[in-house]
Amino acid sequence: MSDRNIVPPRFFMFCVVVIATLLLVLYSSFLLHLSDHSFIPRSVLELVFVNNTSHDFKPSFKREQITPPPLNSQGSKVQPQRCQLSNSSQKSNSPTQMGKMACDTTLALLRVFMYDLPPEFHFGLLNWKETANQTWPDVNNPKLVPPYPGGLNLQHSVEYWLTLDLLSSNIAKVFRPCSAIRVQNASQANVVFVPFFSSLSYNQHSKIHGKEKVSINKMLQERLVQFLMGREEWKRSGGRDHVIVAHHPNSMVHARRKLGSSILVLADFGRYPSKIANIQKDIIAPYRHLVNTTPRAESASYEERSTLLYFQGTIYRKAGGAVRHELYYLLKDEKDVHFTFGSTRRNGIQQASQGMALSKFCLNIAGDTPSSNRLFDAIVSHCVPVIISDKIELPFEDVLDYSEFSLFIRASDAVRKGYLLNLLRSIKQEKWTKMWERLKNITQHFEYQYPSQPRDAVNMIWEEVAHKIPSLQLNLHRKNRYQRS
Ligand SMILES: *[C@@H]1O[C@H](CO)[C@@H](O)[C@H](O)[C@H]1NC(C)=O
Ligand SMILES: *[C@@H]1O[C@H](CO)[C@@H](O)[C@H](O)[C@H]1NC(C)=O
Ligand SMILES: *[C@@H]1O[C@H](CO)[C@@H](O)[C@H](O)[C@H]1NC(C)=O
Ligand SMILES: *[C@@H]1O[C@H](CO)[C@@H](O)[C@H](O)[C@H]1NC(C)=O
Ligand SMILES: *[C@@H]1O[C@H](CO)[C@@H](O)[C@H](O)[C@H]1NC(C)=O
Ligand SMILES: *[C@@H]1O[C@H](CO)[C@@H](O)[C@H](O)[C@H]1NC(C)=O
C-alpha cells in the first residue's frame, strides 16, 4: 500500500487532534488526582454508593416508549451446568444458604485467608480514615462502606468488590451467596487473598510528587513484595496459592515479576510475558461496565434497534489497534452504522448507553490492549458483540460459550471490503433474537455489586479461583515429594 492511500482527509486529522487533546486532558486529570471530579454521569457514580437494601441495581437510564418485548419461551438453551468441585459446593449457591446465618466454613466453595495489610494498601486509597488500630472499614452497614472513585477508575474496580465480599463473609447480617468465606487461619484456607487495590494505586498514585524519589504506587508495590516474601504463607507454596488482583494492564508493573507465581486476576494478558501470566494459572475478570445495564423488560427487540452496528471510541490506536483505522474507512458512510469518535466525557458514556441499547450489533475492536470495557458495555446493553480482537481472552470462558451470544471475526477478514456488513445483514431476525435472549440471561455474570449476588461477577470469579485449586494442589504435592523427607 502506498503512503498516499492512507493519508487521512483533513476532517480526520482534525478529529485526531481533538481526540489526542482530550486524551491528554483526561490523562493529566488522573495524574492530578482529579478523577473524583470526573466526567462521568452521576448515575454511574451512584452505583458505587452501595445500598444495603438494593440487591439489584435498578439503573436510572430509561428509554421512552419501548414496550417490553415478549419473552421468547423457545430460546430453550439451558444455562450451562457449573462444574462442581464437591458436593458441598452445590449447596453454596442455593438460596437457603443466603439466609440470616453467616456463611458456614464447611459449606463454602472456597476458604480464603486474607492478609490484614495496612489500610494504605486498600481502603486508605479511597481516603478512608481508620480509627485507632482498625484495619478494615465496618462493612456491616453497606451505607458506610467507602465508595470507590467513579469515572474510568470504575472499570478496574474488581479489587474492591472482591475485598468487600470477603470482609462481609463472616457477617450474618449481610445477605450473600456462600461461595467464598474468609478464614482466620491460613492453614485452613484454599487460597490466600492479597488485598492490594493495585489498579487504583496505579490510576491515582503513579506520579512522583515534590521530593519523593519513587511514586506511591511503586513504593506500595515494593513494600508488598517485601511483606509477602517474609510470610510463611508465601514460602509454603512459593506464592502459588496467592490471589493477586492486577486488573489495570499497567498495574503492578514493578512487582509482577516477583509475584508472578501467584494466581493473577487480570483484564487480559496483553502486557505480560506468558511465563508470568497465562490462562492455566490466572483468571480473566470482566471490566466493570460504564454504561447502565438495560433492564431485562426494557430491552429493545430486533425491530426496535434501528442501528445495525455501533462503535464509539477512539479510532487511532497503536499496535493491534490499526484495524480500527481501516474499519473506519470501510464503514463510516454506511447509513445504518454508527462509527464515530467518542469520548469518556459525560456525553460520551450517556450517548454510548443509548446508542448500544438501540443497536443490533456492537463492535469490539482491539485497542492498545486486546480487551476493553466496551465488550461489557455491549453485553449489559444486550447488543450482540462483534469481536474483532484475535488475541482477546474472555472472562469465564470455561463456563460460558461466547459464540451463543457474540460473533467472532478475524481481523484479516474484517478489513476485507464488504465482508463485515454482508455477514451482519445475513443474520436473520430469528438468529439474532436467540443471541439476544442469551445475552439477557448472562448479563448477571458481568455485574459487580455489594453485597454480591448468586452468579454475579464476584461469585463467578470465586468459582474460577476454585477451579484452579486441583492443579494447584497437584503442583504443590509434587513439589513436596522430596522436601518433606
Ligand atoms: C438506598 O435505600 C434507600 C432506602 O433505604 C432508598 O431510598 C435509596 O434510593 C437507595 N439508594 C440507592 C442508590 O439505591
Ligand atoms: C440497612 O441499613 C439500615 C441502617 O442504615 C438498617 O436499619 C436496615 O435494617 C438495613 N437493611 C437491611 C436489609 O439490612
Ligand atoms: C434464559 O433463562 C430462562 C430462565 O432461566 C430459561 O428458561 C431460558 O431457556 C434461557 N434462555 C436462554 C436463551 O438462555
Ligand atoms: C451430597 O450431599 C447430600 C446432602 O448433604 C447427601 O445426601 C449426599 O449423599 C451427598 N452426595 C455425595 C456424593 O457426597
Ligand atoms: C493498638 O494496638 C496496640 C497493640 O495491639 C495496643 O497496645 C494499643 O493500645 C492499641 N491502641 C488503641 C488506641 O486501641
Ligand atoms: C492454625 O491451624 C493450625 C492447624 O489447624 C494450628 O496448628 C495453628 O495453631 C493455628 N494457628 C492459629 C494462629 O490459630
**∠ CA(206), CA(208), CA(212), 5° rounding?**
135
Amino acid at 117: L
Taking the CA of residue 51 as reference, the ligand 2 atom at the shortest distance is: 1
pLDDT at residue 295 is higher than 90: yes
Mean pLDDT over residues 339-346, rounded? 65
Ligand 6 contacts CB of residue 65 (under 6 A): no
Question: What would you measure as the largest C-alpha separation in the chain, in angstroms?
Answer: 74
Ligand 6 contacts CB of residue 185 (under 6 A): yes
Which one of 111, 115, 185, 192 would you pick to mutate in the ligand 6 pocket, going by the greatest count of ligand atoms within 8 A of its CB?
185
Ligand 3 contacts CB of residue 77 (under 6 A): yes
Mean pLDDT over residues 411-431, rounded? 94
Which one of 72, 74, 76, 403 would you pick to mutate in the ligand 3 pocket, going by the greatest count of ligand atoms within 8 A of its CB?
76
Instruction: Output the residue whose Cα is nearest ligand 2's atom 10.
Output: 52
In the chain the domains, ranked by start, together with CATH numbers, are 111-288+455-478 (no CATH), 296-446 (3.40.50.2000)
- pLDDT at position 480 is 83
pLDDT at residue 250 is higher than 60: yes
- Residue that is written with C-alpha cell 438501540 in the block: 358
The ligand whose atoms approach the alpha carbon of 437 most closely is 3
Q: How far is CA 44 from CA 67, 165, 312, 380, in A?
A: 25, 21, 18, 14
| Confidence band, pLDDT 50/70/90 cuts, at residue 24 | confident
Better-predicted residue by pLDDT, 317 or 253: 253
| Confidence band, pLDDT 50/70/90 cuts, at residue 479 | confident
| Confidence band, pLDDT 50/70/90 cuts, at residue 59 | very low
pLDDT at residue 110 is higher than 90: yes
Residue 237 · residue 190 · CB < 8 Å: no
- pLDDT at position 350 is 79
Model pTM?
0.74
Residue 385 · residue 375 · CB < 8 Å: yes
Ligand 5 contacts CB of residue 133 (under 6 A): yes
- pLDDT at position 385 is 97
- pLDDT at position 91 is 36
| Confidence band, pLDDT 50/70/90 cuts, at residue 220 | very high
Q: What residues does 264 pair with on adjacent strands?
A: 244
Measuring CA to CA, which residue among 346, 312, 288 is closest to residue 153?
288
pLDDT at residue 37 is higher than 50: no
d(CA 374, CA 246): 19
Taking the CA of residue 133 as reference, the ligand 5 atom at the shortest distance is: 1
Measuring CA to CA, which residue among 138, 119, 121, 140 is closest to residue 129?
119
Amino acid at 290: L
- Please give the distance, rounded to the nearest whole angstrom, from the Cα atom of residue 118 to the centre of ligand 5: 14
DSSP tag of 118: -
The ligand whose atoms approach the alpha carbon of 143 most closely is 2
Ligand 5 contacts CB of residue 131 (under 6 A): no
The model's pLDDT over 117-141, given as tens digits with 9 standing for 90+, comes to 999 999 999 999 888 788 999 888 7
Portion of the chain with pLDDT greater than 90, in percent = 54
d(CA 159, CA 176): 18
Mean pLDDT over residues 11-35, rounded? 67
- Residue that is written with C-alpha cell 481481523 in the block: 411
Ligand 6 contacts CB of residue 187 (under 6 A): yes
pLDDT at residue 377 is higher than 50: yes
- pLDDT at position 86 is 32
- Please give the distance, rounded to the nearest whole angstrom, from the Cα atom of residue 450 to the centre of ligand 1: 14
Portion of the chain with pLDDT greater than 70, in percent = 78
Burial of 454 (0-12, 13-18, 19+ CB in 10 A): middle
3-state class of 469 per DSSP? helix
For residue 455, is it left (φ>0), alpha (ψ between -120 and 50) or beta?
Answer: left
Measuring CA to CA, which residue among 386, 37, 443 is closest to residue 374?
386
Ligand 3 contacts CB of residue 75 (under 6 A): yes
- pLDDT at position 339 is 87
The model's pLDDT over 232-249, given as tens digits with 9 standing for 90+, comes to 999 988 999 999 999 999
Which one of 406, 437, 438 would you pick to mutate in the ligand 3 pocket, going by the greatest count of ligand atoms within 8 A of its CB?
437
Mean pLDDT over residues 52-79, rounded? 30
The model's pLDDT over 258-281, given as tens digits with 9 standing for 90+, comes to 999 999 999 999 889 999 999 999
| First-last CA distance in the chain | 66
Phi, psi dihedral angles at 188 (to 5 degrees): -95, -5
The ligand whose atoms approach the alpha carbon of 90 most closely is 4
